[in-house]
Structure 1
Amino acid sequence: MDANTGQIRAALMTHQDVGDGEVLADLLDQIPADTPIDTIGGDGAYDSKPCHAEIAARGAKPSIPPRDGAKPWSESTPGAAWRNEAIDVIEKSSRREWKAASGYHRRSLAETLMYRLKTLTGHSLWAREIGSQAAEVAIRAGVLNRMVALARPQSVRIA
């Protein structure tokens, strides 16, 4: 999701035994490589070396809380500097303070969008074949993007 526009930028239907972090690369592949990405956020499921490597490869900043009990990574590991700093901040203050200071709570925008996507036409898919289900998810995402584009207020800051 693009937090600035409210638009779904990538969607992928997975089987229930596939973890979120396992498909980050597939999601990022749906966004053109020349499209700049400022921040990639997610929950602790994305706190893995492969995910941080994908985020670093896109030149983005992660907004992912380190897992409970996380240990620092070697500085040569992609994303280690950011993650190690987050671990230090959490140890010195608290996870709550880190979330507030890091902007992690913007992730709630994506969670709200996912709720809208799931409730758009019910919590289950109508299609029964895997390919048809993927198409249904893509159609629902397109419908929701159109609704957001039509309903989102255009705000302009006045000095």
Structure 2
Amino acid sequence: GLDLVSGEIVCSDLTKDDVGDPTALPDLLDQVDGPVDLFLADGAYDGDPTSDLLTARFGPMIEVTTPPPKNAILSPNVARKPTARDCHIADIAINGRMAWQKATGYNQRSRGETLMGRWKAVIGPKLKARNF
């Protein structure tokens, strides 16, 4: 996890290939000391479990920006109480994915990917150990 303003790595974890990103998220969030107001992540984090966890940890004002899949459907309560995800789905349907990325700031995620790419260049293409 990165602070996009400072470039500081605020949380990290080394997992085996069989551990998915959302599964590792609670342990990563335990490492974060300060407040979080924006969570940008890839589509692997899309869904209620991630949103609920982030809201529980950082409060209802946290902005969760993850791209919904192309076949995403609106929630059953969209007419009465649309979720942020519902708004993302509708915005993508109306304006397209690229416009949604620009409007939500999701394109900033590429800065995070660049920062991680730099770190991986420092540690090399593989970590080697006798056991996990």
> Does the pair score TM above 0.5?
yes
Mapped partners of 2:123, 2:77: distance in 1: 46
Deviates more, 1:112-121 or 1:88-97: 112-121
Percent identity reads 38
Q: Which has the higher contact order (CA 8 A, sep 6+)?
A: 1
Q: 1:107: which partner in 2?
A: 109
Cα 1:73/1:115, change in 2 over 3 Å? same
Distance in 2 (alpha carbons) for counterparts of 1:74 and 1:55: 22
Query: Does 102-111 or 49-58 show the bigger shift?
Result: 49-58
- Per the alignment, residue 151 of structure 1 pairs with none
1:127 is displaced (CA, Å) by 2.5
After TM superposition, what 4+ stretches of structure 1 lie above 4 angstroms from structure 2?
A: none
Unaligned 5+ segments in structure 1 are 131-159
**Aligned pairs for 1:54-69 within 5 A:** 54-57=53-56, 58-59=58-59, 60-69=62-71
Superposed CA deviations along residues 82-123 of structure 1, whole A, max 9, x for unmatched, are: 100000101111011100110001111111111112111311
Partner of 1:91: 93
When the two structures are superposed, what TM-score results if normalisation uses the length of structure 1? Answer: 0.73
Mapping of residues 27-42 of structure 1, within 5 Å: 27-32=28-33, 35-42=34-41
Q: TM-score, normalised by structure 2?
A: 0.87
Unmatched segments (≥5 aa) in structure 2: none
Kindly provide the CA deviation profile for residues 48-97 of structure 1, in whole angstroms up to 9, marking residues without a partner as x.
22111112222321111111111122459xxx611000001011110111
C-alpha change, 1:75 and 1:31, in structure 2 (3 Å) is farther
CA drift of 1:46 comes to 0.5
Residue matched to 1:5: 6
- Is 1:81 the equivalent of 2:83? yes
Aligned length: 125
